[in-house]
Structure 1
Amino acid sequence: MRSAGAVEAVAVRLDAKVTDLLPAVEHYNTETDRLQISTVPGTDGIVRRIEVRASDGEAKAHWVVFALSNNTDEQVDRLIVAPFYRMVGSGLFWPDLGNRRILNLTPSQGFKPERQSAPDADVFLVTLDPGSTVTFVAELTGEKLPQLYLWEPDAFKDKVNSFTLYHGIVIGIAGLLALFLTILFVVKGSVMFPAAAALAWAVLGYIGLDFSFWSKVFGLSPIAEQFWRAAGEAVLTATLLVFLFAYLNLNRWHVRYVHVAAGWLVFLAALVVVALLDAPVAAGIARLSLFAVAVAGLGVVIWLSQHGYDRAVLIIPTWLLLLAWVVMAGLTVEAVVTNDLVAPALSGGLVLIVMLIGFTVMQHAFAGLGAVQGSTSDLERRALALAGSGHLVWDWDVDSDRIYTSPEVEDALGLKRRSLETEAAGWLEVLHPADRDRFRATLDGIIDQRRGRIDQDFRLRAIDGHYLTFNLRARPVVGADGEVVRCIGTLVDVTGERIAAERLLHDAVRDNLTGLPNRELFLDRLDQALTFTRIDDTLKPTVMVIDLDRFKQVNVSVGMAMADSILLTVARRMMRLLKPQDTLARISGDQFGLILMSERDPERITTFADTLRRSLRAPITFADREVFITASIGLVLSGGDQAKRTDVLKDAELAMYFAKRIGGDRIEVFRPAMRQQKTDRVALEDDLRHALERDEILVRYQPIVRLDDRAIGGFEAFLRWRHPTLGELPAAEFLPLAEETGLILDLGLFALEKAARQLGQWQRLVRVDPPLFMHVNVSSRQLLRHDLIQDLKAVLARNVVAAGSLKLEITEALVMENPEYAAVMLARMRELGAGLCLDDFGTGQSALAYLQRFPFDSIKIDQRFVRDSAKGPARAARPIIVGSIIDLAHHLGMDVVAEGLEREEEAGEMSHFGAEYAQGILFGEPLTADECRALFEPVRSEPRRRRTAV
C-alpha cells in the first residue's frame, strides 16, 4: 500500500467547453492492490485520507489522481473522457495504438461517476455540488494515459455528432472510389488498375479503423484494434508500393527493380505477422516504410520524367501531395502539430490523394481509343497485303502487356498453340540467352521514345532445343495521349540466310580443319588483349607459340589424312586444358598460337606450359600403331615492353625456334637477349670454347634422397653455362654442341674436378654413415678416351673422398655400344676407387649376360617407368616391369635410384617397389654449393643422423 499527498484542484468553469486535465494529474504505481491518498482540502480546510482498492485484484496497479473544484453556486455535470486512440502524439517509434484507459474512477465524496457508452473512449459522468472539491482516483489499464479531458456534456455530444457526419462522408467517398476503381479494372485489364483499386481498398480500411467505424460494425475490442491498425498501415504501404511499380511499368523489364519491390513486399507482409506479436513495433516500422516509399517514389518519378516518360510527368503533382501528406502525418504523430482537426483532415487528404490517382489512371484507361478507330478500311488493306506476302503477324498490346503472333511461328518451333501468346517477359523463356537483353532494350526504347522502328534478328528455341532465327520488323502505334498503346509488325524466318552468313564469317576467321581461330583472328584477339592490358594493369596475357617437332616426317610416314587426324587430336588435347577466357588458334600448318588470360602468376604459367607439353607427348593411337608427338613451346610472359601484336608474336616465335634448335620437346621463355643472339653454330661454338676461360661454366647439385627416411644420401652434378647474352643455359642446350666439337672432354674434366672437390668438403663437414656420394655424368667421348683413367686418377689424388662415393654415371646405350671395351674401362675405374651408376636402365637393349660382367654398384630407373602415364595394357604391365628391374638390381647387388619424381604418390610407389634412392623436383631443383651447404647446418652437431631433403 502506498500513500499519496494532496494534489492541486482544477476549478471547473461554467463557460469552458473542454479542459485538458492531463497536466493536473499525478501518476502512481503500487506494488499492492491498494492506494491511500490525502484528499485536496475542501472549503472547510480539512484534509481527509481515503483508501482505494484495485478492481481486478492484481498485485501491481497503476493510478492517476486529480481533483476538481466547483466554486460556483450551481450543481455542475461534466464528462471525464480518456480516448482510446488519437493520431496526435501517438509516436513514430513504438507508437501508442490505443487501448482502454480507465478501469474504475473513485471520488473522495459524492456519487460514484457513471460510465457512459462510447466506442472509442472511456467516458464517465461526474456531478459536482456547489462549493465542493472532489479528489478522483482513476485505476488505469497500463502505465500510460495519453489524453484526459473534462467535457461539457452538450459540447461533447455536438463534437461527436459533427465528426460522425464527417466520418460518414469520407468513408462513403472512399468506398465509392474503391468500388469504381475495381469496376474499372474489370473493364480495362491493365495491371495499373488492380493496383489502384487495391490502394483504394487499403485506404478505406485504414480510415475505417481511424474513425472507429469497424469497431462499431464488427465490435472489435481495443486490443484487436491495435493489431488491425498496425496491419492496416503495413498494407497501405505495400499497396502504395505496388501501385508505383505497376503505374510506371517498372515490373516489365527492370529485374533489379522487381527484386527490390518483391523483397520490400515480403518484408511488409512479415510486418503483419509481427503485428500479432507486437503491434507497436510493426506499426513503427510500417510508418518508416511509408515515408521511405514516398521519398524513393518521388526520386524514381523525377528521374523517369527527366528521361521523357509521360506517365512519370503526370504523376508528379499527386506524388508531391502524397509526400506532403506523409510529412504532415509525421509531424502529427510526433505531436509537433496538435490541433484536434488535423487527424480527420489527414484522413480526408488521403482519400483526396487516392481520388487524384484514380483520375490519372482513368486518363490512361480511355486515352488512345480514338486513334485506333476510324481507320478500318486502311487496316483491312494492310491485313490483305500481309496475308499476300506470307509474313507472320507479331502484335504487342502494351497496356495489357500481351503479345500475339501467327500460329505458323509456333508450328515452326514445334510449340503448342497459343504458347507464345503471353506477356512480353514470357518471350524471354524461348529467346536465346544472348538475345534477351537486346529484346528488352528494343521494347523499352520503343516505349520511352514513342517512335522509331524495330528491325532486329532474334533466335527462338524450338521444342527440340535448337534455335531458329526470325527477323522482327515492327513499329509503335501511339494513342491520343502520346503514349504507345501497341507495337505491331511481322516476323520472317531467316534461319537459312543467317546460317549462310555465319558460315562465310566462320570461314573467314576460322581454320577449316580444326575449327580454331586462324592467324588473323588470333592477331585481332591479341591486339584486344594488349589494349585491355594498357587500360587495366591486372590483366596480364601470356602468348605461346606451339610448334610440333618433326611433323613433316610424320606427315610423310603416315599420310596426309592421318596427319590431319593427328592435328585434330592435338588441338582437342590443348583445348581441354584451356578456360573460356583463353584463346587457342592454328596460325600455320603445324603451329599453334595461344593467348593465356586465366593464369597470371609466372610459376603457374610455366606449370601450365609444362602440362601442355606433357599432354602432347602422350601417344596417339591409330589402328595398330602409335604415333608419338612432341612440341617446342615459345612463351612470352606478360609485362614486357612490346607495343604491337606482331612484335609479341615474333618474340614468342623466336623463343619457340630457340627451343627447337636445342633439341625440341622444350619450353623456352622469351628473353630480350634472344633478339640480339648469334644464331650460327660457329659463333656459339666460339663462345663455348672461351666459356671455361671466362669462368662462365657453373656446377649445380640436385639432392638424391633415401626413400625410407627422406634423408639426403647424395647429389648429382649438373653443368650450367652463364652465357653473357643468353643468360644461364642448362646442359641440354650446349652439351650436344660440345659433344660434336670435342669440347666435352674439357667440360667433363671440369665437372669431375669440381664435383670431387665439393664432395670432399661436404664429407668433412657432415660425417654420416654411409658417407655422402656424388653422381657425375660421363659422355661417350670421355668413355672411349684412354686418358679418362689418368684424369680420374689425378682427380681422386687431388681430392680426398670416401671410396666409391664419387659415382660416374654411364648410360645403358653407351655401355652396349662396345660392351667388351666398356667392361675393361669400368673395372679399372672401380679399382681406382670410383663408384659406377648405370643410367637410363631399361630404355636400351641390355643383355643380361653382359650386365653381370659390369661392376656397377647402382642403377637409375628412367622417369618413363617412374611416372604412371601409360594407358591400356601398358599401364597394367608397368608395375610388373618396374618391380622386375628393381628385383634384378638387388640380385646383382646394386642400389636403385628412381629419377624424375614429381608427385608424392610416385615416391610412395617407388618405395613400395623397393627402390633405395630417388631424385626429382619433388625433392628439389639443382642448387648452388652454398644452398646445399645450408641444408647441412642443422645436422653438423649430430654426426650419426641425416637431415631431410624437403
Structure 2
Amino acid sequence: MITAADYEQLFAHAPCGYLITDEKWLITAANATFLAWTGYTSDDVVGTFLARMMPMGDRLLHTTRSVPQMQLTGTVSEVSLEIVDASGKPRAALLTATRSVNHDGGVEHRVIIFSAHERRRYELELVSARRRAEESEARSVRAEAGLQHLALHDSLTSLPNRAGLALILERGLTGRAPGASIAVLFVDLDHFKSVNDSLGHNAGDELLTVVAQRLSSTLSSAGTVARLAGDEFVVVEHVGSATDATVLAERLLEMVNRPLEIEGLEVVCSASIGIALADDESSEPEKLLRWADIAMYRAKARGRNTWEVHDPSEVDPAVNRMRLLGELRHGIEGGQLRVHYQPRMTIATSVISGVEALVRWEHPTRGLLQPAEFIDLAEESGLIRELGAWVLDAAVQQGAQWSRLGDGNAPVSIAVNLSARQLADPQLACMVQASLTRYGFDPSLLTLEITETALMENPVMARKVLTTLKALGVGLAIDDFGTGYASLTYLKEFPIDELKIDRSFVSGLGTSDGDCAIVSSCIQLAHAVGIRAVAEGVETDYQRSTLLTMGCDLAQGFHYSRPLAPELLEDWITAQPPSVASGRAAGPGPAHAEPDDDVEMLAAV
C-alpha cells in the first residue's frame, strides 16, 4: 500500500517542477526539482504569488484565460509562459494545473511546470513513443500478413496451396452469378518421378516452377492456379460451357508440352488433366476437387497427356477402392485366397522342371479374381506384406504336403515371389525361417523371387537382405529381368541362382528384332555369371523353338499349361507322356548344367 510518505517522496523528486497554490495562486509548497531549476530556496518561493515569478505578472494568467478556465473546468492544459529564476533570467516553460479540494475543505491548485528543455524532451518522448507504437503495429501487420501468406501459399511456386485454394473456391462459388459455371481442372504431371530420380530434386523443383508459370500465363485475370502437393496443380477458371473447359485443357497441355532445358538437357513434360464443372446443384469445393481428381486418373488410364471430363453420374472409383481394400483385408483373414500353379518346363527336353504359383482371390460375389485386380491395391495400401506372408506360408505348407506324398506326380520344391515392401521388412528372414520350421520344410527346396525393380531401388540394402536369406539355405531368383536396369556388377554381387526374363520381351520374339536381341543378351548374361535363364510368358511353339536355339534353360506359359489348382496340377503331371513324367522324377537342371534334383514352384504375389 502507498503511504503518505510515499506521496511526499513522489512530490519532492518528481522529474518536473511541482507547485501547490491556494485558490488565489499563492504558492504553499514547491518540490526540489522546481527549486533546483529556478535557483530559489523554499523560503523564497513559499508565500509568494505565482504571478510575481512571471515577467508579465498576474496579467499572464488572465490573458491566457487560465483563471476562467480553472473556474469552469478545474484544469489548465499546456499554457506557454516564462518563469523568472533567482538570477532574474526568464526561463521558457509550460504550465499545467488542476484544481482540487484539500483535507480541510479548502481549494488548492496543483501546478506542474515543465522547463523548455523538459518540454522538448517530453514532446520528443511522445513522438518517439508514438513512432515506436506505429512501427510496432506496422511490424505486427506485416508479420501477420506474412504468416497468412505462408499459411495459404506454396513456398516453392508462391501459388495458393490447398488451404488457399479452398478459400478461393469458396468465394468464387458463393459470389458467382446464377447460371454461371466454374471449371476446376486437376493437372498432374506424367512421370515426374523420373525427373527427380535422374536429375535430382533441384531439377524437379525447377520443372515445377516453370510449369506453374506456364499454367498461370494461360488463364484470364479471374483465373487461379494452385499447387496442392508434389506435381499436382489445380486450375480454377470461369467458363461459359463444358466446351470452354476442354478448350482450356488443350491450351494447358500445349503449354506443359513445350520443351525446356534443365541442367543442359532438353526435357519434354506432359500432364493428365481431370475436369469438373460447378453448376447450381454442385458447388461444394471438396466435391469438385474430388471429381476433378477422379477424371484425372481416368485420363492417366487412357494413356496420359490428355484430359477427361468427370460425369457426376459415374461411381466414384476411390470409394470402390476403399471398399475393395476392406474386402481384401477380410478376404485374407477369412481364407478367401487361393494359389494356382503353372508348370515350368526344361526347354531342351520338354520335361517339367517345376511350377509357378499364382495367387487368386475367391471373392464372395465377384468370383475368382486375378492378381491384376487387387495386387496394386495391396501394394499401395501396405497390405501386400500381410498378403505376401500368407502366400509364403501357404506355398511352404503345400510343398511340405507334396514332399510327404513322395510319389512321382507331385512337385516338391517351392519358390515364392517377394514384394518390394517385404524386401524392406526387417522381419523378413524371421518370417521365412518360421514358415520353414512350422511345416518342417527343407530350406534348400525353397526359392525366393525378387523383381529386378525392387532390387535396384536400393541395391546396397538388397544385397544385405539377400545375403541374410541365402544364409538360411534358400535359393534366390531375379524376376522380370530387363525392366530394372541391373548391371553385370550387381548380378555378380547378388547371391542369385536364377534369372527370369520378363514376358514383355518374350512376347516380341518373331516380331521384334530388338526383343530378340534383348532376350538373347539376357540368356548369355545369365550363363556368364553361372545361373539359369528362365523365359516367362511363352505362348507359341515359335517362341519355344527360338528360346531353344538361344540356349534358354527353362520356360513357362500358356504354350505348356494354364495355372492349375493343386489337385489339377497333379492330374496334369500324371497325364504327361512317360518320358516327361520320368524326366520330372529325375529332376534335370539347366541345359548347360549338371542335373539338379530340385523342382521349383514359384508363388507369385
TM-score, normalised to structure 1, is 0.28
Larger relative CO (CA 8 A, sep 6+): 1 or 2? Answer: 2
TM-score, normalised to structure 2, is 0.43
